[in-house]
Structure 1
Amino acid sequence: MILFLIIRKKSVMVNMILLLILSLSGCTLGNIGQMEIIIFKIGKADSILLSTANKNVLIDTGKEENGKEIIKYLEEHKIDTLDYLIITHFDKDHVGGADTVLKNVEVLNVVTADYTRDSKQYKEYVAALKAKNQSATLLTENLTFKLGSAEFLVYPPQRSHYSEDNDYSLVISVQHGENSFLFAGDAEETRLTELIEQGNLEHTFLKVPHHGLYTHKSADFFELVNPQYAVITCSDKNSEEKVVAALEQLGTMVYLTKNGDIYIKSDGNEVTIKQEDIK
């Protein structure tokens, strides 16, 4: 009994010393830092900024006219470097502002799907990339990277050719502590089928594919992702009621960018979301 008490006292003392060291160093057990996400209100177009540990990832750049708005936000928040620029696919509402972004901030890595597009916006993006003497990583296999406490997994399309340009969309999964975020580009039925077959789809948050377009695979996809929160990038002209209803039936809280910019914070345990229309 005496021996047990001595060991117990030593154990308590060790724990007290450990907690003291952690408090003096400004650390707390389980604190993995914060990740912040903004999904811009730019109509039926995508641009999403993720920031963690002074690292920044921009997913898509909206339409051509949205480039200046994105740069203004980056300048106001003193962001002069993007660690990754991920263009999910080359539709004008995803790649349109890429040339403006490349011209105005330092971009360390550019990631796209492995295909080309004969469009004005794509050609301007390629020209801006060449002007910076840069090349993009054209994904044919999964890409993983870590920034701070966030782990990124980028899924490329599984085919070399699709009848629908949207099905070339890269899909990005981000794990931050207990929270997970899925950004599904403009994936349509064929691409959604690929994702469903890959499995492991459950995420805390979903950026709904293709601005809320409902397909024959949408309900199955939503059920497998089973998100607590979802965002649809849309304008007043969108008709996303069927998608909203399908998500709300799962208990998902749905936000629409037509109602304002969406700000998301993750501390690794909880997710908080607010929406503001400051325009």
Structure 2
Amino acid sequence: MVYRKKKRKLTKKQQKQQKKITLLVSIILFSFIFGLFVGKNDNPGNTLIEKAEQLKKEWIALIQERSPKVSEKNTTKNQKAQIHFLDVEQGSSTLIQSDDGTTILIDTGRYEDKDKRIMTYLDHYIGTGGKIDLLIFTHNDSDHIGYGDLILKYYDVKEVWMNGYDSTSKIYERVLDAIENSSTRYVEPKSGDTHQIGPFYLEVFNPTPKARNNPNDDSIVTKISFNEFRGLFSGDASSSVEKDIIETRENLNADLLLMGHHGSNTSTSEEWIKAISPEISIYSAGINNGYRHPGPEAISRLDELNIPTYGTSKDGTISIEVSKNGMFTIETEKEE
């Protein structure tokens, strides 16, 4: 993964850590040089060298504390999990939670939602001021980064993923400022990266190291697995990205597919559906939205392959309960 440092003012915590590292390095260099100078006198030289070695160990430990942690794939079993596709009108937000408290939030809805329902949902499912282990902004459109700045302010967000391609919008700038003013770790994942967080194993399929320079097609596309269940989350990637992923990746199969671009006709191609072979599909869109999402052609492609589709515009918030053996049940906010 690419750990990108934004050219912004360091937080107070980062400043303190940087000063401590600088001080430790200075002491180590001084002790080493002085130790060489008095090396002929066994006792003084040895004492200083031992001190330098001890300081070196402290310095390495501090560096490791600041560095991103890489973990092996966790084979933890026997945990239930819940996936909530939140009804945030014409936007997208998915909350994933496991029994052990691990929480992943993918996107934060639309900024124009004056009711700020994303905050109400998080207060309900996580609790005000609660922990979010991983916050993924699939891309920087306002209907996906929505109230991300408030979430970073009011929740304990451990790590944030963004696709690394800048935007000129004020909403994006507010999100960057919120990241800078928090203690969260900032990451820019690329295709081929993997990441373990609690019982969840994430595989990144997009974006590629070479930017497509298209806000939607540079979306972070991930496959998230736990127990025997797998979900694929497409962001706003189009069928051209889907084709690239099919040609470069293996084992795309998933139980659940979040349709690309709110169910648009330009995503969720027949080739993509067959490669994933999902048991259910979900789209996130608002009622009577001006984009006419979901697209009838995309829904038809799923219907022809006998894959049931749920959507927030007709079902409200969609909750999936995943059992310890990977079996799942679906509950919708609105009755059909």
TM-score (norm 1): 0.82
Amino acid in the other structure paired with 2:120: K
Aligned to 2:14: none
Query: Residue 136 of structure 1 aligns to a residue in which SS?
Result: strand
Structure 2 counterpart of 1:92, which letter?
A: S
Q: Does 1:265 align with 2:311?
A: no
Deviation at 1:78, TM superposition (A): 4.2
2:305 pairs with 1:255: no
CA contact (8 A) 1:50 1:58 kept: yes
- Give the paired residue count: 249
Alignment match, 1:211 = 262
Is the radius of gyration larger for structure 1 or structure 2? 2
For the pair 1:228 / 2:279, whether they are aligned, the reply is: yes
Q: Which residue does 1:70 correspond to in 2? A: 118
**8 A contact 2:265–2:296 mirrored in 1:** no
Q: CA deviation at 1:76?
A: 2.5
Task: Name the SS for the 1:243 alignment partner.
Answer: helix
C-alpha contact 1:32 1:149 (8 A) present in aligned 2: no
Letter in 1 for 2:303: E
Does the 8 A contact of 2:161 with 2:189 survive in 1?
yes
Partner of 1:199 in structure 2? Answer: 250
Name the counterpart of 1:165.
215
Aligned CA-pair RMSD? 2.1
The structural deviation recorded for 1:255 is: 0.3
2:87 matches 1:41: yes
**In 2, Cα distance between the equivalents of 1:207 and 1:64?**
21
The answer to whether residue 106 in structure 2 is matched with residue 56 in structure 1 is: no
- Counterpart of 1:13? none
Structure 1 residues 228 and 130: CA distance shift in structure 2, 3 A: same
Q: 1:214 to 1:83 in 2, by over 3 A?
A: same
Secondary structure of 1:199 counterpart: coil
**What's the counterpart of residue 91 of structure 1?**
141
By how many angstroms is 1:121 displaced? 1.3
Structure that is richer in strand per residue: 1
With 189-198 and 46-55 compared, the bigger mean Cα shift is at: 189-198
What is the letter of the counterpart of residue 51 of structure 1?
Q
Aligned residue for 1:165, secondary structure, equals: coil
Structure 2 residues without counterparts, runs of 5 or longer = 1-75
Q: Does the CA contact (< 8 Å) of 1:84 and 1:111 recur in 2?
A: yes
Q: Tell me how far 1:133 sits from its aligned partner.
A: 4.8
Q: Which moved more, 1:99-108 or 1:60-69?
A: 60-69
Superposed, which structure 2 residues align to 1:94-243 within 5 Å? 94-197=144-247, 198-215=249-266, 218-235=269-286, 236-237=288-289, 238-239=292-293, 240-243=295-298
Change (3 A) 1:123 1:275: same
Identity of aligned residues (%): 27
